[in-house]
Structure 1
Amino acid sequence: MKMTKKAITLGLGLVVMGSASFAQSLNDAKKAIDAEQYQKAASMLKTLVNSQASKGENYYSLGEVYLKMDYVDSARAVFTRGVTADPKNSLNYIGLGEADLLSNNAASAKTNFAKAVEVSSKKDYIPQLYIGKAYISTDKPDFEAALPYLQKADELDANDKDAETFVALGDYYALQNKNSEALQNYMRAMNINENLLRAPVQIGRMYKDSRAFPESEERLKEAIAKDANYGPAYRELAELYMQWANQVPAEFATKSAQALENYKKYLDLTDKSFESKLRYAQFLFYAGDFKTLEQVTSEIAAASTNDPKLPVVLRLRGYSAFENKNYPASLQYMNDYFAKVDKSRIIASDYLYLGKAQAQNKQDSLAVINLTKAVEMDSTKAEALAEVAKSYYDAKNYPKAIATYDIVNKYNPNGKGSLYNYYYQGLAGYFLYGQGYSAKTNPSKDLLVKADAAFASLLKGAPGTIDAILWRARVANFMDSDTDPKGLKLPYYQQYLDSAEARVAKNVQPAPSPKSMVEAYNQIAGFAAYKEDKAKAKLYWDKALALDPQNATAQEGLKQLAGPAPKAPVKKK
C-alpha cells in the first residue's frame, strides 16, 4: 500500500514579513509545520488569514499545510484566495502550481510558476527555491525541471543566508540516491544554521534508505539530542527500526518493538489529528501488527465520521481484517471502500485484498477478475492469483486452472513461485486432455501444446527438474498418432533416464523415483518392440525388471518378443 506522505518532507523556509507580532505568529506556524503538527499549524494560520487578510504569505502557508495533509482541493481554494488578496505576491502562484503537479497537470503548473517569476523581483531567490521544491515534492519528482530553479536560488542567495536552499538541494540529490552530493548540501545547511533539525533528520533518512542503519540511527539521535520534542526525528527513527527489523530477521522482535515505541513518541509530539493517527495506522500495516491496526482503524472510524479520507481507513480495515482471518468483515470493508473511494486513488493492493477476500468467501469468479487487475497494475501481486489457480487445480477444475495460470504466467514469467505455476499449468493441461481422451470427446491438442510449453518454461528456469522432462514425455506420447506413432516421446524419456541414472550412480538426493524410471524403460522398450528392435526392447525391459522384478508390463513384453510384432503401444503409462 502506498502511503500518502511525501517521499521527503521538505521544510517551508517561509519569508517573515510584517510587524514583529505577525512575524512571531508566522514563525510559530512554521515551527509547527516543520514539527508535522499540521492541525495546530492550520489553526494558527486560519487566524492569521482572518486577521491579516491582505498578506499573501498567510494563505500560502495554510495552503501548504493542506497539501501536506493531502487535501489538494482545499489547498487550491486557499491559494486562489491568496492570489486575489495579494496578486503581486509570487507565493500563491507557486502554491497553485504545486497543486497542479499533484493533480498531474504539468502544463498548468508551468503557467502558474511562470506567473510567480513574473510578479517577483529578479533578485528574489525565494520563488526560484519554492518552484524547485515543488517539482520534487510529488510522488514522481521532475528532477530535470527542478534543478535550474534550485541552482538559480543558490545563485541569487549569494551570501548563503538561507539554509533551506541547501536542504532543498540535499533533498534533490537524496531522492536520486546521489548521497555524496546530498550530504554536502545538508552539511552546508547545518553550517549556516546549526540548530536546523530538518537537515540531520534528512541525513538519517538518506542513510536509512541506503541501509546504513547504524549511521542513520546516529544521525537521528543527534537531532533528538538537540531537541527531544522534535517529532519527525522519532518518526524517521521508527521507520528506520522497522526497515532494520525486516532486513535482519534475527533482530526483528527487538527492532520492531523499538519501531512501535518511537512511533508512539512521534504521535505524542504531534497534535494527534486524524492525519497523524492515519499515518500511525499505515505504519502498523507495514510493521505487520494487524491486531493493533484493526483496533486503531476502528477507533479512527468511530471518531472521524466525516473526514474525506475515511475511504483510506476502510482500506486499512479491510486489509487488517483479512490478515486477522476475519474474511466476511474484510470483504464488507473492501466493498465499502470501492464504493466510496475516488477511482484515481485505487492501488494494486486494493484489488489484491478485495480479490483475496472474495476468494475466501467463495466468490471465485469475482476474485479472479480483481486479482487480475492487481497483477496488471503490479506484477509482484501474482502470488495471490496463483493461489486461486492452484485451488482450481486442487478441485480438478482444470479449465479454470489453465485460464488463471495463463494470466499469472503472463505477468509473472520469472518471479516468485513462477516454476510451480508452470508445473501446475502443465499438469492441468495434461490431465484435461487425458479426461477428454478417455471419454473419446476428441479434445484439442492445443491443450498439449500449452502444457508442453509450460514444462519447457519450467525447465528453462530450473534445468535440473527432471520430473518436468518426464511430463514432457507423457505429453509427447499423447501428441503422437494412435495409428502410426513416430516415437515423439522417446527423446524425453531417454533424456529423463540419462539424468536419473546419473543421479543414481552418484547417489544424488533426492533420488529419482524407481517407479518413474520403470515407466520410462517400459515406454522405450515398448516402442522398440513395435519397431521390431528386439535387442533394444529386451535391454530396456531388463532394466525395468532390475528395478521392479514383479513389473507385469516388462514381464509380458519379454514373453512377446519371441512372437509377432505387437500393435502400436497404447497411450497409458
Structure 2
Amino acid sequence: MKAIKYLLIGAAIVGFSATSIAQNDSKATIESITKVIKNKSGDVDDQVKSVYKNNKKNAEVLVGIGRAYLDVKDTAKAKNFADLAIKADKKYAPGYILHGDIEVIKDDGGAAAGWYQQAIYFDPKNPDGYFKYASIYRGRSPEEAVSKLEDLRIQRPDIAVDAMAARIYYSSNKFDKAIESYSKVDMNRLDNTDITNYAMAAYLKQDFKKSLEIATFGIQKSPREAAFNRLAFFNSTDLKDYENALKYADALFNKSDSAKFSYLDYTYYGHALMGAKQYDNAIAQFKKALAENIDRKEIIADVKKQISSAYEASGDYSNAILFYKDYLNSIEKETASDLAGLGTLYNEQADKLTGAAKTEAYKSADAIYGDLADKFPNAVEFADFMRARVNSYMDPDTRLGLAKPYYEKLADLISAKTEKDNADNARLVECYRYLGYYNYLKKDNATANLYWRKILNIDPNNETAKQALGIK
C-alpha cells in the first residue's frame, strides 16, 4: 500500500513536470514566432508554417500566433489561427477570446460580445471572457457590464471580482463607484494597475488624503513605480504638505523606473517649490513646463501666469510684470480680473520703489485701471476706486487733487444705489474724507463741511468728521 502511494505521488510529480515543460516550450515557441511576425522577416510565412506543422494540436501556440498577427493588424491571418485553435481544442476559451478581440479591432461590438460569451460557455472559470464581455458593454451601461461579473464571482470566488468591476467603472469615468468597488478588496490583492486606478479615482474626486494613502501603499509595494510616486507627489502638494511633496518629487524625477515627464509634473514641482518658498527653483520648473510640447493655448497661458506669480513672490516685479503681460497676450479673451491683476503688480512694484521710478509705476497702474473701465463697464466702480487710490499715492499731501475726479465719480456711482452694503458705505466715507480734506486745503470750508456732514450721516461716531466740524 505504501509502495503504491509513493508510486502515485511519483507519477503525479512526473506528470506535473511534463506539463510544466510543455507549457514552457509553448511559451518559448510563441515568443520566438511572435518576434518573427512582428519583425516581418523575409521567410516569415515559411517559419510560421513550420511552427504550425509542429503544433497543429496545440491550441495555446495557435492562439499565440494569431495574437502576433493581430498585433500587426493582420486580422485575416489572426482569424485563421483563431479558427485553427478552436478546431484543435473546442473548449479552449482563449481561441474564442481572440476571435472577439479581432471583432473589437473591426469595431463590431456585438460580434465581439458573442465570441466572449462562447468563451464563458466553454470555460466558465476563465475570467478573461467575463471581463472582455463586460468591457464591451461598459460604454452603454457600466452597471449591466458589472452584473456580468457577478456570474464570475459564483464560478471563481478566489478572484477579486470587485477589482474587475472597479476597472469597468474607472474606465467609464464613474469614479465614485470605482472607489466603492475597490474599497471592498484587500489592497494586497490588487495589482499595480488597480492600485494606480484606485488612487487616481480618489485624486480626481479631490479626496487627496485617501489618494495619498493608496499611493503610499503602492510605494511600499513598488518604491520605483512612477505612477505611485507621482500621485503621492501631487496629493502632498494639493494638501500643502510641501516638505513631503518635495521628497516624492525627488522620488519621481530621480528614483523611478521608466518615468516619462509632462508639463503637469513640472508645474506641480513648481507649486511645491513655491510652497517651500524656493522661488528661483520654482521658476526653473515652470520654465521647464513651458518648454514642453503643450498643445493647448490655455495651459501655456496658465504656466506663464504661474511664472509671473513666482517672480512676484520673490519680489522681482519687473519679470513678474513681463510674464504677466505675456500671459495676457496668450489668452484668447481677457477678463476684468485678468486686467486688474496687472494693475495690482504695478501697485506692488511702486510700493518697493522710490522717486521717479515709483511715480512711473503708479502711472502704469493708473493707465491699466483706466483701460479696465473702458473695456469692462461692469468694472467701472472698481476701476475708479483704484484710480482714486493710485492718484492719491502720487499726491500724498493732496494739494494737487489728482484723486479728486475719481473720488467724485465713485461717490456718485455709489450714492445712486438704492441699497448699499457695508463695503459701499466704507468707500463712501473714504471718498468724502478725501474730498472734505481737499476742500479744507483749498479753504473752501462750506464745501468741506458738506462732506464732513455726509460722513456723519453714514458714521455718526466718525472722529475725523466730528473734529473737522468742531463737534465734541
Please indicate the TM-score interval, normalised by the length of the shorter structure: 0.5 to 0.7
Q: Greater RCO between the two (CA within 8 Å, min separation 6)?
A: 1
Matching residue within 416, 419, 423 for 1:507: 419
- Residue by residue over 1:128-157, the C-alpha shift from the partner in whole angstroms, topping out at 9 and shown as x without a partner, is 9xxxxxxxxxxxxxxxxxxxxxxxxxxxxx
User: 1:239 and 2:170 equivalent?
Assistant: yes
* 1:203 aligned partner, one-letter code: Y
Change (3 A) 1:401 1:347: same
**Structure 2 residue corresponding to 1:260, chosen from 179, 182, 189:** 182
Structure number with the higher helix fraction is 2
Q: 1:281 to 1:366 in 2, by over 3 A?
A: same
CA displacement, residues 336-388 of structure 1 (integer Å, 9 cap, x when unaligned): 43346799921132113322332233312211332455478575695997699
- Residue 470 of structure 1 and its aligned partner are, at CA, apart by 0.6
Alignment partners' CA distance in 2, 1:527 and 1:329: 55
Structure 1 residue 477, shift from structure 2 partner: 4.8
1:410 Cα deviation from its structure 2 partner: 6.1
Aligned CA distance change for structure 1 residues 329 and 541 (closer, same or farther; 3 Å): closer
Which stretches in structure 2 are left out of the alignment for 5+ residues?
Answer: 1-20, 49-68, 80-97, 119-128, 154-158
Which residue of structure 2 lines up, in the alignment, with residue 353 of structure 1? Answer: 268
Task: Provide TM-score, normalisation by structure 1.
Answer: 0.50
2:282 paired residue number? 367
* 178, 186, 190: which one aligns with 2:109: 186
Give the AA of the match of 1:429.
Y
- Pair 221,318 (structure 1): closer, same or farther in 2 beyond 3 Å: closer
Contact 1:358 1:367 in 2 (8 A): yes
The amino acid of 1:353's aligned partner reads Y
* 1:66-109 deviations in Å (ceiling 9; x for gaps): xxxxxxxxxxxxx33x636726799xxxxxxxxxxxxxxxxxxx
1:321 Cα deviation from its structure 2 partner: 4.4
1:52-201 map, 5 Å: 55-56=33-34, 79-80=38-39, 83=41, 86=44, 125=76, 163-164=100-101, 166-168=103-105, 170=107, 185-187=108-110, 189-190=112-113, 194-195=117-118, 197=130, 198=132, 200-201=134-135
Distance change >3 Å, CA 188–CA 361, structure 1 → 2: same
1:387-442, Cα deviation, whole Å (9 max, x unpaired)? 9949956x988667656755766667879xx8767656534422542554xx4354
Instruction: State how many pairs are aligned.
Output: 385
Larger Rg over CA atoms:
2
**How many Å apart are 1:299 and its aligned residue?**
1.7
Deviation for aligned residue 1:258: 1.0
Shift of 1:517: 1.1
Aligned to 1:9: none
> Any residues of structure 2 matched to 1:122-521 within 5 Å, and which?
125=76, 163-164=100-101, 166-168=103-105, 170=107, 185-187=108-110, 189-190=112-113, 194-195=117-118, 197=130, 198=132, 200-204=134-138, 206-207=139-140, 215-217=141-143, 219-228=144-153, 233-239=164-170, 243=174, 245=176, 255=177, 257-261=179-183, 264=185, 268=189, 272=191, 277-279=195-197, 282-283=200-201, 285-286=203-204, 288=208, 289-302=210-223, 310-323=225-238, 326-339=241-254, 345-371=260-286, 373-374=288-289, 377=294, 379=298, 382=302, 389=309, 425-434=342-351, 436=353, 439-443=354-358, 445-450=360-365, 452-453=367-368, 463=378, 466-477=381-392, 489-490=403-404, 492-503=406-417, 506-508=418-420, 510-521=421-432
CA distance in 2, matches of 1:537, 1:216: 74
| AA in 1 matched with 2:152 | D
Deviation (angstroms), 1:300: 2.9
Provide the C-alpha distance between the structure 1 equivalents of 2:289 and 2:414, rounded to a whole number of angstroms: 41
2:267 match: secondary structure: helix
Q: Once the 2 structures are TM-superposed, how far is the Cα of residue 52 of structure 1 from its aligned partner?
A: 5.5
| Percentage of pairs with the same residue | 17
* 8 A Cα contact 1:466 1:496, kept in partner: yes
Aligned-partner Cα distance in 1 for 2:448–2:239: 60
Unaligned runs of 5+ in 1: 1-42, 61-78, 91-112, 129-160, 171-184, 208-214, 246-254, 560-573
Q: Distance in 1 between matches of 2:310 and 2:441?
A: 39
